[in-house]
Chain A
Amino acid sequence: MTNNKLQVKKLYSLTSEKKKYSFSLPLKHSIRIGKREYEVKLKSDEKFGTYILWKNRKYPVEIVRSRQNKYEILFNDISYTFTVETPFSLQRMKVLNSKMGKAEKEDIKAPMPGKIIDVLVREGSSVLRGEPVVILEAMKMQNEILSPVNGVVTKVVARVNTNVMKDDLLVEIKL
Chain B
Amino acid sequence: MEISGKRYKAFIDRQAAIKHQYSPKQAGKQHSKGKLTAQERISLLFDNDTFEEIDAFVTPADQPVEFGKVERSFGDGVIVGHGKVNGRLVFSYAQDFTIMGGSLGIVHAKKIAKIQEMAMKMGAPIIALIDSGGARIQEGVASLSGYASIFQNIINSSGIIPQISVIMGPAAGGAVYSPALTDFVFMVNHTSYMFVTGPNVVKEVLNEDVTFEALGGAEIHARKSGVAHMIYDDEENTILALKKFLSYLPSNNVENPPVVADDGSVPDINEKLINIVPDDPNKAYDVKDVINQIADRNSFLEISELFGASLVTGFARLKGKTIGIIANQPKVLAGVLDIDSSTKGARFIRFCDAFNIPLLTLEDVPGFLPGIDQEHAGIIRHGAKLLFAYSEATVPKITVILRKAYGGAYIVMNSKSLGGDFVFAWPTAEIAVMGPDGAVAILYRKELAESKDPAELKKELVKKYRDKIANPFIADESGYIDEVIDPATTRKKIVSAFEALNNKWIKVPSRKHGNMPL
Asked if A and B bind, the verdict is yes
The docked-state distance in angstroms from the alpha carbon of A89 to that of B237 is: 8
Is B332 interfacial (CB-CB < 8 Å)?
Answer: yes
Is B352 interfacial (CB-CB < 8 Å)?
Answer: no
Contact of B333 with A66 in the complex, beta carbons under 8 Å = no
Is B107 interfacial (CB-CB < 8 Å)?
Answer: no
The docked-state distance in angstroms from the alpha carbon of A2 to that of B37 is: 13
The residue in chain A whose Cβ has the minimal distance to the Cβ of B213 is A100
Cβ contact of B333, chosen from A2, A67, A138, A142, cutoff 8 A: A138
A5-B282 contact given A140-B334, A140-B435, A141-B334, CB 8 Å threshold = no
Q: 0/1 per residue, A128-147, Cβ < 8 Å to B?
A: 00000000011111111000
Contact of B241 with A139 in the complex, beta carbons under 8 Å = no
A139-B333 contact given A5-B43, A95-B32, CB 8 Å threshold = yes
Contact of A141 with B19 in the complex, beta carbons under 8 Å = no
Contact of A1 with B42 in the complex, beta carbons under 8 Å = yes
Contact of A89 with B236 in the complex, beta carbons under 8 Å = yes
Cβ contact of B336, chosen from A69, A95, A139, cutoff 8 A: A139
Cβ contact of A86, chosen from B42, B56, B236, B241, cutoff 8 A: B236
CB contact list, B183-214 vs A, under 8 A: 190
A93 proximity list for chain B (CB < 8 A): 233-234
The docked-state distance in angstroms from the alpha carbon of A3 to that of B332 is: 47
Contact of A4 with B22 in the complex, beta carbons under 8 Å = yes
Is A6 interfacial (CB-CB < 8 Å)?
Answer: yes
Contact of B237 with A68 in the complex, beta carbons under 8 Å = yes
Cβ contact of A6, chosen from B36, B56, B284, B437, cutoff 8 A: B36
Is A23 interfacial (CB-CB < 8 Å)?
Answer: no
Contact of A89 with B233 in the complex, beta carbons under 8 Å = yes
Cβ contact of A4, chosen from B40, B232, B435, cutoff 8 A: B40
Cβ contact of B22, chosen from A2, A96, A100, cutoff 8 A: A2
**Chain B contact residue count (CB 8 A cutoff):** 49
A112-B42 contact given A1-B52, A1-B53, A96-B34, CB 8 Å threshold = no
The residue in chain B whose Cβ has the minimal distance to the Cβ of A4 is B39
Contact of B330 with A96 in the complex, beta carbons under 8 Å = no
The docked-state distance in angstroms from the alpha carbon of A86 to that of B232 is: 14
Q: Which of B42, B236, B331 has the most CB of A within 10 A?
A: B236
A112-B435 contact given A89-B234, A95-B34, A140-B366, CB 8 Å threshold = no
B331 proximity list for chain A (CB < 8 A): 143
Is A111 interfacial (CB-CB < 8 Å)?
Answer: yes
Contact of A2 with B19 in the complex, beta carbons under 8 Å = yes
Report B385 CB to chain A, min CB distance, Å: 21
The docked-state distance in angstroms from the alpha carbon of A100 to that of B232 is: 18
Is B298 interfacial (CB-CB < 8 Å)?
Answer: yes
A111 proximity list for chain B (CB < 8 A): 332
Report B45 CB to chain A, min CB distance, Å: 11
The docked-state distance in angstroms from the alpha carbon of A143 to that of B329 is: 12
Q: 0/1 per residue, B298-329, Cβ < 8 Å to A?
A: 10001000000000000000000000000000
Cβ contact of A96, chosen from B190, B302, B332, B435, cutoff 8 A: B190
Is B339 interfacial (CB-CB < 8 Å)?
Answer: no
CB contact list, B208-251 vs A, under 8 A: 232-234, 236-237, 240-241, 244
Is B25 interfacial (CB-CB < 8 Å)?
Answer: no
The residue in chain A whose Cβ has the minimal distance to the Cβ of B81 is A1
CB contact list, A71-109 vs B, under 8 A: 83, 86, 88-89, 91-93, 95-96, 100
A69-B333 contact given A6-B43, A139-B366, CB 8 Å threshold = no
Q: Which of A6, A66, A88, A140 has the most CB of B within 10 A?
A: A6
Is A63 interfacial (CB-CB < 8 Å)?
Answer: yes
The residue in chain A whose Cβ has the minimal distance to the Cβ of B242 is A68
B15 proximity list for chain A (CB < 8 A): 2
B27 proximity list for chain A (CB < 8 A): 4
A141-B330 contact given A1-B79, A88-B236, CB 8 Å threshold = yes
The docked-state distance in angstroms from the alpha carbon of A137 to that of B240 is: 39
Report B317 CB to chain A, min CB distance, Å: 15
Q: Which of B283, B288, B333, B366 has the most CB of A within 10 A?
A: B333
A68-B37 contact given A1-B51, A1-B81, A143-B284, CB 8 Å threshold = no
The residue in chain A whose Cβ has the minimal distance to the Cβ of B54 is A1
Contact of A2 with B18 in the complex, beta carbons under 8 Å = yes
Contact of B40 with A6 in the complex, beta carbons under 8 Å = yes
Contact of B52 with A112 in the complex, beta carbons under 8 Å = no
The residue in chain A whose Cβ has the minimal distance to the Cβ of B56 is A1
A112-B283 contact given A4-B22, A68-B240, CB 8 Å threshold = no
Is B44 interfacial (CB-CB < 8 Å)?
Answer: yes
Q: Which of A3, A89, A137, A139 has the most CB of B within 10 A?
A: A139
The residue in chain A whose Cβ has the minimal distance to the Cβ of B190 is A96
Contact of B232 with A139 in the complex, beta carbons under 8 Å = no
Contact of B234 with A142 in the complex, beta carbons under 8 Å = no
The docked-state distance in angstroms from the alpha carbon of A65 to that of B302 is: 11
Report A136 CB to chain B, min CB distance, Å: 10
State the B residues within 8 Å of A (CB): 15, 18-19, 22, 27, 31-34, 36-37, 39-40, 42-44, 49, 51-53, 56, 79, 81, 190, 232-234, 236-237, 240-241, 244, 282-284, 288, 298, 302, 330-336, 366, 369, 435, 437
A-B contact pairs, 15 of them (CB 8 A): A1-B56, A2-B18, A2-B56, A6-B44, A68-B237, A69-B232, A83-B233, A88-B36, A88-B236, A95-B32, A95-B34, A112-B332, A112-B333, A138-B333, A140-B334
Q: 18 additional contacts, CB 8 Å, given A6-B43, A67-B302, A141-B283?
A: A1-B39, A3-B43, A4-B37, A4-B40, A68-B232, A68-B244, A69-B232, A88-B36, A88-B236, A91-B31, A92-B234, A95-B32, A96-B34, A100-B190, A139-B333, A140-B282, A141-B366, A144-B284
Q: Which 7 A-B pairs have the closest CB atoms?
A: A139-B334, A141-B334, A1-B53, A92-B34, A89-B234, A6-B40, A68-B241
